[in-house]
Amino acid sequence: MATLPNPLPTLAADPGGRALGLRLPAGAFVDTTAEGPWHEPLLWCARERARPGDWRELEPARRKGLLPVVLDVGGGHGGPDRWELAPADMSYPGDHDAGEVLAEYWQEHAADGAPWPGADTAPPAGRDPDTVAADVAEALLDAGGPLKDPRLALVPARRSADIPAAIGWTGAVHHEGDAARLGAVLRDWEDRFGIRVTALGFDHLLVSVAAPPVTLADAEAVAAEHVAFCPDTIRHGRQPSLRAYAEQQVLGGRTWHFWWD
């Protein structure tokens, strides 16, 4: 996968991040993959549970080519060093067409004979995506948030949508073994809806949404994209139909949460 120069090795001799203008808590570099150690760190991850306010402390890292993300190391899966990361198996998100990827997923996993409805059009401009991501992260890091054990991490990546592929994330391996293809869709959602990859777990992914659909018709169109992207969204979800999912999870929603069985 094509990447920018990795700033993480600079932190190896400067754990607090002062050389990069950061004030980092105690953390560790992760280079563990399913095939053995990677040739450079894939990410930095804090050792202690993240608290409200920690995300914004990492915001200056964006200017150095490091993007913040919350990692959920709870649920019995441990941290990213135990996630069977596979960066060698990843292509580059920019090499894939999001519409073609979604149409293929739809036919393989979600269609039930129905034709691919096509991608939704872009909604009106929303709030600043990075501000929304910070607000969502604050809620995730609250003691009553949905994540079992959230840790702040920094990933060298060109854009937020590239984070899964940049670390070789395999959480959706039973649906898609190359996270760059998922990343192509995430890039498209960045452009259309202002999403940011805000949290990753062993097998789940959460994005913030700056400009969600504001009509039910648009929400249903986006819901179809969600089902193609992650069939378990409906298959194992609480919503009995695409319309119900669109009403309850997509329409005006500031977060989209995906989980792969």
Q: Residue-wise pLDDT tens for the chain (261 aa)?
A: 545 789 898 888 888 888 778 888 999 999 999 999 999 999 999 999 999 999 998 988 998 899 999 999 988 899 999 999 999 999 999 999 999 999 999 888 665 667 766 665 655 567 899 999 999 999 999 877 788 999 999 999 999 999 999 999 999 999 999 999 999 999 999 999 999 999 999 999 999 999 999 999 999 999 999 999 998 877 666 666 889 999 999 999 999 999 998
pLDDT the model gives residue 22: 85
The three-point CA angle 48-51-52 to 5° equals 160
Token pair of 171 as six digits: 């959480």
Question: What is the pTM for the complete model shown?
Answer: 0.93
pLDDT the model gives residue 132: 96
Which residues, in sequence order, are bridge partners of residue 209?
195
pLDDT the model gives residue 2: 45
Pairing of strands 195-200, 66-72: parallel
Amino acid occupying residue 167: I
pLDDT the model gives residue 123: 58
- Distance from the Cα of residue 17 to its chain's centroid: 24
Contacts of 132 (CB under 8 A, 6+ apart): 126, 194, 196, 208, 209, 210, 254
Taking alpha carbons only, the member of 72, 60, 68, 80 closest to residue 17 is 60
Token pair of 213 as six digits: 């659909």
Percentages (nearest 5) of helix, strand, coil residues in the chain: 40, 15, 45
Token pair of 173 as six digits: 């391996």
Q: CA 39, CA 88: separation in Å to the nearest integer?
A: 11
- Distance from the Cα of residue 180 to its chain's centroid: 11
- Distance from the Cα of residue 211 to its chain's centroid: 17
